[in-house]
Structure 1
């Protein structure tokens, strides 16, 4: 009985020591920290949170960075051109910059997340520029149609005036014809009277 209780005591002690070793091992093992490398998507989302004054400051900063050959300044400026609320929003400039960037850099320069955003932006800009082009063509056609309609209305109005004038002239001529007829009838009556009295 004494041996059983000693065995239990040793087992308890060993279990406690084992538990303490496991806990201490957990404590000394460093926890790996995952560092988040900012992406172009992070930058774009950050831009969306800025007000107009802050956007102007960021544009100025990226222009400075571009002159000092900062590697991401060109892309950041391109993203600033794609942001609708940006003071320098211009899809044509953004697409032009994107085309230049694709020529300057190999795609492997971008990590998959950045490459996905750049590819998406290229597709969106192409679609947007196509819509703008269609809008410009449609607007030009509408302006031309309006001018043509105005010209037709003006021509119709002029023709209507001419028609009205001709109608008035026709009425005047009809009145003159009626008057002349009456005069001729009067002359006939006078002649008839003269003839009758002459006999």
Structure 2
């Protein structure tokens, strides 16, 4: 997702070669162990046992939670802070005021990876991701098209990674369009000058 090309094939699904995917799946979420797991006590820095007992609650990186969760059913995954009820209410009320960069730098991608891990809450989460992007997209594109170069950093400071990609893509397309218009105007001006010159020559002959 670091280039405009990635917009045609974003790394929302597990992508071994995507740095963005690696960073997004390294975000942590709260998990509860449903079985005693032998030899994994080192995951709990507060415990002294070599094993993880049933009922232990830990925050695990998403990639590990995905490996232990749905198929093996060793852990139950819960929504992290960025998607809890409090923030869902704020995002539904006015998503444009939220600092997604501070909340979750890979908000949409992280959320997309969470969908198959959180059971029935996945439906609510999917709707939240869609509606949040709908609410914020106009501001992202308005900023990319109209802000001054010196103000760009300020405008995108609250955007998550996907929104920053859209911001830069929109800005680049706008600049390309302006260059095209400039060349077009040059061509039109040249044609108009040629026609005017031709009329003068005809008047001189007649």
TM class by smaller structure: 0.3 to 0.5
Query: Which has the larger share of helix?
Result: 1
Max Rg structure? 1
TM-score w.r.t. the length of structure 2 is: 0.34
- Higher RCO (CA < 8 A, seq sep 6+): 2
